[in-house]
Amino acid sequence: MKLRFCITGILLVCFSGTSLAITVLENAGFEDGSTGRSVSIPGWISIDTPDVIEAGGLNDGGTPIQPDFILGSGIGSSPDGGNMALLRNAPFMGAVEEIQQEISGFTLGTNYRVSFYLANAGQEEFREGLPNQDGNGRIEVSLFSSVKQTDTVVFEGFGSQSWGLQSFDFVATAESSTLGLKAAGFPEMGGSSETARLAIDGVSVEVSPVPLPASFVLLSSAFATLRFLKRRTSRRGLEPQPQSMCDV
């Protein structure tokens, strides 16, 4: 019993500083507000003119039969479902789109994980002489004055866009910070166009999973050894003892 209380106390000391609280983002799945080109996205600050679309894409202009172009033509829903934000990077047009959100409630020195679903949505063109926007690209993630990048996301074809989960860890250096998600990486990323449109959905910021410290693993091994020795001692106490010559 004393051993159990001792181990419990050690575990409390080891993990007393670990928080499991989740930082809640506003409109993380882009369901609030309307879909459309260059729309206001509740809860987010828009840099340049990001769009919000739903699965299947967004017909912009023209008619349902002959649109001018379709944003994210044929794209399926992300695992988060519903709407998605669309960010474009077209350096030759001076368009570098980004969304930002101010977050507070961070604990200094704590690791936080930023996660979101990402797909290369593209833009299918129907206007004569204009190419599809189907370049490759990536997303820059910024938090606590630190910037990280996703791997290159290759355009896979209209109707064949696939979603992937992206995750990045940041150490809190302030109690509040601005989360930024920006389309980046053109035109050096390649593709048949210098412009690409990247879809984002299901953004989250939460405390990073804390791996078990080496001291805990060592403690577990020691505890298992002590239990084995205790059982062995108990069994010996139950075994009949050999009689000595004096007892005969």
Q: List pLDDT tens digits, range 107-125.
A: 999 999 999 999 999 999 9
Q: Interhelix angle for 214-238 vs 2-15, to 10°?
A: 170
What would the pLDDT profile of 152-168 be if each residue is shown by its tens digit? Answer: 999 999 999 999 999 99
Contact 110, 207 (CB under 8 A): yes
Least confident among 37-46, 163-172, 181-190, 235-244: 235-244
Q: Which residues contact 163 (CB under 8 A, 6 or more apart)?
A: 76, 78, 79, 117, 118, 119, 201
Query: Token pair of 5, please?
Result: 């209380």
Question: pTM of the predicted model, to two decimals?
Answer: 0.76
State the Cα–Cα distance between residues 182 and 193, nearest whole angstrom.
19
Least confident among 51-60, 154-163, 181-190, 223-232: 223-232
- pLDDT, position 90: 84
**79 pLDDT band (50/70/90 cuts)?**
very high
- pLDDT, position 41: 97
State the Cα–Cα distance between residues 181 and 184, nearest whole angstrom.
10
